[in-house]
């Protein structure tokens, strides 16, 4: 009985030892990661290990883990425009490494590959693209400039094993002299627009005066024709209408008193008083 127990113990210990040995040869690649192995005898292996349980040779294979998720990075460059204005541009890019090319990336740039690739590429591309546009065009054609930068950077970083998912122009800052010049230009444009409206207003007034004068001339012509055909009757009617209108306006004023006409008004008054 004791021999059977000892045999069982030996089997259990052997099984646990074997399990520990097998487990020590395994490693886990987590979601969003990819790994490559560096063998101390043969060097860097070309295989890329995706997520899940993977095997290695304990003591010979070192694990190199890479984040293959999309990550953001902000890049900044000071450069000159086509019209020799200095501009400070900030980019925000979303990038990730191409998993199949991780051995090449590690062999050439190491695990801090983004520090070595993205700043130099963005600096080169931004200087080339910004030099094609004037300072004002960078603002007016922002979408076009952004698309151009994205296209060139995508082609460039692909050569190094990276993929750009998105790119945006975060900020464009011009020099102080340029900003003062832009402000002065805006003020001048506003003044010019104001004077343009003044000219339009004066032109409208001139046209109204011309139309009014033409109407008065036409009215005078019609009155002249009517007088020639009908005599002075029209003028008399106009005088009567004017007198009626004036009397109606004056009758409402408290300081106005109507008196009879005639040259002997005061004489008649004196005679009546004597009597």
Average pLDDT over residues 86-98: 93
User: In what side-by-side order are the strands of the sheet with 33-39?
Assistant: 43-44, 33-39, 61-67
Tokens of 274: 């004597």
Strand partners, 64: 36
Tell me: do 62 and 75 sit in the same domain: no
- The pairing of beta strand 71-80 with beta strand 162-174: unpaired
In-domain check, residue 118: yes
CA distance 275 to 265: 16
CA distance 75 to 120: 10
**What is residue 138's predicted lDDT score, i.e. its pLDDT?**
86
Handedness of CA 104, 110, 116, 122 (dihedral sign): positive
In-domain check, residue 16: no
In-domain check, residue 9: no
Q: Which of 21, 26, 70 lies closest to 52, judged by CA?
A: 26
**What is residue 117's predicted lDDT score, i.e. its pLDDT?**
94
Contacts of 223 (CB under 8 A, 6+ apart): 234
Tell me: do 146 and 57 sit in the same domain: no
For residue 154, give the CATH number of its domain: 3.30.479.30
Cα end-to-end span (Å), the chain: 177
Contacts of 250 (CB under 8 A, 6+ apart): 256
Q: Which residue has the tokens 């805006």?
A: 186
Q: Which of 106, 85, 241, 256 lies closest to 174, judged by CA?
A: 85
pTM: 0.59
In-domain check, residue 262: no
Please give the mean pLDDT across all residues of the chain: 80
pLDDT category, 20, cuts 50, 70, 90? Answer: very low
CA 26 centroid distance within chain: 52
Q: Dmax of the chain from CA atoms?
A: 178
| Helix, strand, coil percent content, the chain, rounded in steps of 5 | 60, 20, 20
DSSP annotation string for 24-88: HTEEEEPTTEEEEEEETTTEE-S--B-SEEEE--TTTEEEEEEE-S-EEEEEEEEEE-TTS-EEE
In-domain check, residue 258: no
- pLDDT tens column, 162-201: 999 999 998 888 877 665 665 666 666 777 777 788 888 8
**What is residue 248's predicted lDDT score, i.e. its pLDDT?**
74
Tell me: do 26 and 107 sit in the same domain: no
Tell me: do 59 and 143 sit in the same domain: no
- pLDDT tens column, 209-230: 888 878 777 777 777 776 677 6
Tokens of 203: 């032109």
Of all residues in the chain, what percent carry a pLDDT higher than 90?
A: 36
In-domain check, residue 253: no
Tell me: do 228 and 207 sit in the same domain: yes
Q: What domain count does the chain have?
A: 3
CA distance 101 to 119: 20
- The pairing of beta strand 33-39 with beta strand 61-67: antiparallel
Tell me: do 133 and 112 sit in the same domain: yes
In-domain check, residue 109: yes
Structural domain for 154, as ranges: 71-174
pLDDT category, 271, cuts 50, 70, 90? Answer: very low
In-domain check, residue 263: no
**Whole-number Cα distances in Å, 3 to 7, 14, 16, 17:** 6, 16, 20, 21
3-class DSSP state for residue 3?
Answer: helix
């Amino acid at each position: 009985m004791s021999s059977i127990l000892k045999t069982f113990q030996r089997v259990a210990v052997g099984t646990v030892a074997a399990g520990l040995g097998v487990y020590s040869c395994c490693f886990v690649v987590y979601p969003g990661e990819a790994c490559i192995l560096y063998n101390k005898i043969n060097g860097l292996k070309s295989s890329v290990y995706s997520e899940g349980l993977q095997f290695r040779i304990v003591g010979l294979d070192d694990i190199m883990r890479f984040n293959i998720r999309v990550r953001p990075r902000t890049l900044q460059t000071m450069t000159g425009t086509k019209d020799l204005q200095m501009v400070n541009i900030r980019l925000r890019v979303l990038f990730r490494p191409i998993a199949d090319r991780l051995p090449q990336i590690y062999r050439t740039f190491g695990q801090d590959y983004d520090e070595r690739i993205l700043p130099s590429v963005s600096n080169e591309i931004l200087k080339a693209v910004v030099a094609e546009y004037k300072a004002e065009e960078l603002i007016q054609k922002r979408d076009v400039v952004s698309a151009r930068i994205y296209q060139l950077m995508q082609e460039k970083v692909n050569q190094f094993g990276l993929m750009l998912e998105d790119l945006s122009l975060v900020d464009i800052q011009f020099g102080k002299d340029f900003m003062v010049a832009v402000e002065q230009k805006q003020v001048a444009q506003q003044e010019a627009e104001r004077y343009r409206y003044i000219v339009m207003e004066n032109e409208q007034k001139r046209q109204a005066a011309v139309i009014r004068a033409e109407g008065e001339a036409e009215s005078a012509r019609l009155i002249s024709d009517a007088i020639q055909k009908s005599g002075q009757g029209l003028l008399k009617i106009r005088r009567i209408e004017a007198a009626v209108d004036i009397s109606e306006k004056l009758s409402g004023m408290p300081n106005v008193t109507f008196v009879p006409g005639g040259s002997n008004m005061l004489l008649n008054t004196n005679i009546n008083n004597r009597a």
